[in-house]
Amino acid sequence: MSSIFILNKVMKKSILPKCMPAMAMLCAIFLFSCFLSSCNPESHNDAYYSNDTTEMQVGGVKIIPIETPKGKFNVWTKRTGNNPKIKVLLLSGGPGLSHEYLEAFESFFPKEGIEFFYYDQLGTGNSDQPKDAALFDIPRSVEEVEQVRKALNLNKDNFYLYGHSWGGILAMEYAVKYQEHLKALIVSNMDASGKDYNDYVENVLFKQLPPGVQDTLKQFEDKKDYKNPKYSTLLQDHFYAKYICNMPMDIWPEPLLRAFSKINEPYYNAMQGPSELHLFGKIRDWDIKSRLPQITVPTLTIGAKLDEMNPAHMKWISEQVKNGQYLYCANGSHLSMYDDQQFYMRGVIKFIKDIDRGKG
Q: What is the pLDDT of residue 1?
A: 40
pLDDT at residue number 241: 97
Least confident of 50-54, 80-84, 108-112, 349-353: 50-54
Select which of 191, 307, 340, 356 is catalytic. Answer: 307
How long a stretch of residues is the chain? Answer: 360
User: For 64-122, how does the pLDDT look when each residue is reduced to its tens digit (9 = 90+)?
Assistant: 999 999 999 999 999 999 999 999 999 999 999 999 999 999 999 999 999 999 999 99
Average pLDDT over residues 327-351: 98
Q: What is d(CA 291, CA 172) in angstroms, rounded to the nearest whole number?
A: 9
Which is nearest to 166 in space by CA: 133, 227, 130, 121? 121
Q: pTM (2 decimals)?
A: 0.87
As a whole number, mean pLDDT of residues 191-199 equals 97
CA-CA distances (angstroms) from residue 66 to 139, 287, 343?
Answer: 14, 26, 36
Which of 5-9, 15-19, 233-237 reaches the highest mean pLDDT?
Answer: 233-237
Mean pLDDT, to the nearest integer, of 265-274?
94
* SS3 assignment for 147-183: HHHHHHCCCCCCEEEEEECHHHHHHHHHHHHHHHHCC
Query: Does residue 165 carry a catalytic annotation?
Result: yes
Side chain identity, residue 236: Q
pLDDT at site 36: 45
Is the pLDDT assigned to residue 17 strictly greater than 50?
A: no
pLDDT at position 39 is 46
Task: Please tell me the predicted confidence (pLDDT) of residue 360.
Answer: 72
Please report the pLDDT score of residue 11 as a whole number.
Answer: 40
Taking each helix axis from N to C end, the angle separating 21-39 and 3-13, rounded to the nearest 10 degrees, works out to 130
Per-residue pLDDT for 59 more than 80?
A: yes
Cα–Cα separations (whole angstroms), residue 57 to 42, 48, 52, 100, 263: 22, 15, 8, 21, 29
| Domain boundaries defined on the chain | 3-39, 59-360
Residue 46: per-residue pLDDT:
78
Q: Is the pLDDT of residue 37 over 80?
A: no
Cis status, amide bond into 255, omega within 30 of 0: no
Average pLDDT over residues 119-142: 96
pLDDT of residue 214: 97
β-pairing, 299-304 vs 184-188, is: parallel
- Whole-number average pLDDT of the chain: 90
For strands 115-120 and 159-164, give the pairing.
Answer: unpaired
- Angle between helix 166-178 and helix 138-152 axes, rounded to 10 deg: 70
Residues with Cβ within 8 Å of 338's Cβ and at least 6 positions away in sequence, in order, are 104, 245, 247, 252, 253, 256
334 among known catalytic residues? yes
- Please name which of 93, 51, 98 lies closest in space to residue 75, comparing C-alpha atoms: 98
How far, in Å, CA of 262 to CA of 182, rounded? 31
Task: Look at residue 43 and give its three-state secondary structure.
Answer: helix
The hierarchical CATH code for the domain 59-360 is 3.40.50.1820
User: Do residues 340 and 304 make contact, with C-beta atoms less than 8 angstroms apart?
Assistant: yes
pLDDT of residue 52: 77
Name the catalytic one among 99, 164, 181, 334. 334
Mean pLDDT value across residues 46-51: 85
Residues 6+ apart with CB under 8 A from 172: 163, 185, 187, 190, 192, 288, 292, 295
**Residue-wise DSSP of 280-319:** -SGGGG-B-GGGGGG--S-EEEEEETT-SS-HHHHHHHHH
From the list 141, 165, 318, 333, the catalytic residue is: 165
How many helices (H) and strands (E) would you count in the chain?
13, 8
On the question of pLDDT at 5 being above 50, the answer is no
C-alpha distances (whole Å) from 316 to each of 13, 44, 202, 303, 330 are 63, 39, 20, 10, 17
Looking from the CA of 328 toward its CB, the CA atoms found within 13 Å total 11
Which pairing describes strands 324-329 and 299-304: parallel, antiparallel, or unpaired?
parallel
Mean pLDDT confidence for 200-229: 96
pLDDT at 258: 97
